[in-house]
Structure 1
Amino acid sequence: MLWNVDLTLVDVSIVTRDAYVEAFRAVTGRPLVKLVPPMGRPDSEIIFETLAVNGVVAEDDHLPRFLDALAAAFADRRKRIAKEGRAMAGAKDALRSVARLDGVTQTVLTGTIKSNAMLKLRAFGLDKYVDFELGGYGEEPYSKASLLQVAQGRARDRLGVPFTADNTVLIGDSTRDVQTARIGGAKMIAVASGRSTAADLREAGADIVLPDLSNAAEVVAAIATLTTPLDRKAV
């Protein structure tokens, strides 16, 4: 079971933007004028585009330096996460309910770098339901669809089970997440809790669309619909 993080499980956009502002200045010595919208993209992609739209020519060391600066800036703001952010409606109950399903392992597939994803979920008590070692994260220089396959490979190596579209489920909130599932090889449960509407998510090809995570029974039922008892050892 793969969960997107931002606007699916939590919303900490204010803190994230402030961390980007500090990281940009630390790396370039200039103020950040424009931060490109996330739109479900990995931090590595956002960093390169943000450098470009602010007139900075990316050099070989820009990405690793920016990733380190972003991790440090976000960690410095960890006390603000719960105060200025929020867990999305029903997120904890959904994670808890899915954790009770036999044979299900939960992890994340997120554009956020690993350290920041862990801090985001820990601030709202959501981290205990997630195996962070099996996920895909924004510091890895891959498309999100490729990150899905990386996560499947990590789960296969750990659990000894091959993971395909038959036993992998992604829950996310954007049309980019839907495209990720379709290209990367996963069933897709889309929640209209982010910037994409339910109609957008259906048109993009989501298998099931929910308004949000507030009804944990609906989430569990959706997983049951997309998998079977024999293949429900899902990541």
Structure 2
Amino acid sequence: MLWNVDLTLVDVAIVTRDAYAEAFRAVTGRPLVKLVPPMGRPDSEIIFETLAVNGVVADDDHLPRFLDALSAAFADRRKRLAKEGRMMAGAKDALRSVARLDGAIQAVLTGTIKSNAVLKLKAFGLDKYVDFELGGYGEEPYPKASLLQVAQGRAKERLGVPFTSANTVMIGDSARDVQAARIGGAGMVAVASGRATAAELREAGADIVLPDLSNAAEVVAAVAALTSPMDRKAG
């Protein structure tokens, strides 16, 4: 099971923007004027677009420097996450309940860089349900569909069995998440807890659309409907 993080499990947008502003100033020496909206995109893509819209011509050093600065700035603000952010409705119960499914392994597929994804989930006690060594993260220079396949490859290397749409389910809130699942090869449970409406998620091609994660039984049923016990044991 591959979980998106932002607006699926947690919402820490205020802290994230502040960290981006500090990282931008550290890398460019200028104040951040405009931060492009995430819209389900990876941090690596957001960084390049943010540099561009703020009139900075990126070179080969900008991305690694910005990623390092973003990680440091976010870590400096980790104590603000639980105070100024929120766990999405039902997130902990959903993770706990999916973990009980026979053969289930939970990881994240997120546009957030790995260090920040760990801090986001730790702030709300969600990290215990996730294997952070599997999955995919925003510092990796791939579109989300390719990142999904990278995550499947990591799981195969660890567990010795192939991962396909029969035993991989993604849970996310954006049309980009849905598109990644469709292209990358995973079942898709979409939750309308982010900026996309339920109708937009259906139109994008989600297999199952839920209003949010507040009904853990519905989440488990959705995951189970897109896999089988044998497939989950294989994965």
TM range, smaller chain = over 0.9
1:71, distance to aligned residue in structure 2 (A):
0.1
| Matched position secondary structure for 1:132 | coil
- Identify the residue that residue 129 of structure 2 maps to in structure 1: 129
1:148-180 superposed Cα distances (whole Å, 9 cap, x missing partner) = 001000000001110011110000000010000
In the alignment, the residues of structure 1 paired with residue 107 and residue 161 of structure 2 have an alpha-carbon distance, to the nearest angstrom, of: 15
Task: Please show how residues 1-235 of structure 1 align to structure 2 within 5 Å.
Answer: 1-233=1-233
In the alignment, the residues of structure 2 paired with residue 211 and residue 162 of structure 1 have an alpha-carbon distance, to the nearest angstrom, of: 31
| Matched position secondary structure for 2:15 | helix
1:229, distance to aligned residue in structure 2 (A):
1.5
| Matched position secondary structure for 2:190 | strand
In the alignment, the residues of structure 2 paired with residue 12 and residue 113 of structure 1 have an alpha-carbon distance, to the nearest angstrom, of: 14
In the alignment, the residues of structure 1 paired with residue 221 and residue 169 of structure 2 have an alpha-carbon distance, to the nearest angstrom, of: 13
Q: Is the 8 A contact 1:105 1:234 kept in 2?
A: no
1:54, distance to aligned residue in structure 2 (A):
0.4
Q: Partner amino acid for 1:195? A: R
1:113-165 superposed Cα distances (whole Å, 9 cap, x missing partner) = 00000000000000000000001000001101111001000000001110011
| Matched position secondary structure for 2:232 | coil
Q: Is the 8 A contact 1:98 1:104 kept in 2?
A: yes
Q: Is the 8 A contact 1:22 1:73 kept in 2?
A: yes
Q: Partner amino acid for 1:107? A: A
In the alignment, the residues of structure 1 paired with residue 234 and residue 165 of structure 2 have an alpha-carbon distance, to the nearest angstrom, of: 10
Q: Partner amino acid for 1:230? A: M
In the alignment, the residues of structure 1 paired with residue 155 and residue 103 of structure 2 have an alpha-carbon distance, to the nearest angstrom, of: 13
| Matched position secondary structure for 1:231 | helix
CA RMSD for the aligned pairs? 0.8
1:225, distance to aligned residue in structure 2 (A):
0.8
Q: So what's the TM-score if we normalise by structure 2? A: 0.99
Q: Is the 8 A contact 1:89 1:213 kept in 2?
A: yes
Q: Partner amino acid for 1:72? A: A
In the alignment, the residues of structure 1 paired with residue 179 and residue 101 of structure 2 have an alpha-carbon distance, to the nearest angstrom, of: 26
In the alignment, the residues of structure 1 paired with residue 139 and residue 223 of structure 2 have an alpha-carbon distance, to the nearest angstrom, of: 29
Structure 2's unaligned 5+ residue stretches are: none
Identity %: 88
In the alignment, the residues of structure 2 paired with residue 167 and residue 100 of structure 1 have an alpha-carbon distance, to the nearest angstrom, of: 16
Q: So what's the TM-score if we normalise by structure 1? A: 0.99
Q: Is the 8 A contact 2:161 2:234 kept in 1?
A: no
| Matched position secondary structure for 1:133 | coil
Structure 1's unaligned 5+ residue stretches are: none
In the alignment, the residues of structure 2 paired with residue 229 and residue 76 of structure 1 have an alpha-carbon distance, to the nearest angstrom, of: 42
| Matched position secondary structure for 2:230 | coil
In the alignment, the residues of structure 2 paired with residue 91 and residue 229 of structure 1 have an alpha-carbon distance, to the nearest angstrom, of: 23
1:230, distance to aligned residue in structure 2 (A):
1.2
Structure 1 moving runs of 4+ over 4 Å: none
Q: Is the 8 A contact 1:47 1:66 kept in 2?
A: yes
1:234, distance to aligned residue in structure 2 (A):
7.3
Q: Partner amino acid for 1:36? A: V
1:233, distance to aligned residue in structure 2 (A):
3.6
In the alignment, the residues of structure 1 paired with residue 68 and residue 75 of structure 2 have an alpha-carbon distance, to the nearest angstrom, of: 11
1:44-75 superposed Cα distances (whole Å, 9 cap, x missing partner) = 00000000000000011000000000000000
Q: Partner amino acid for 1:218? A: E
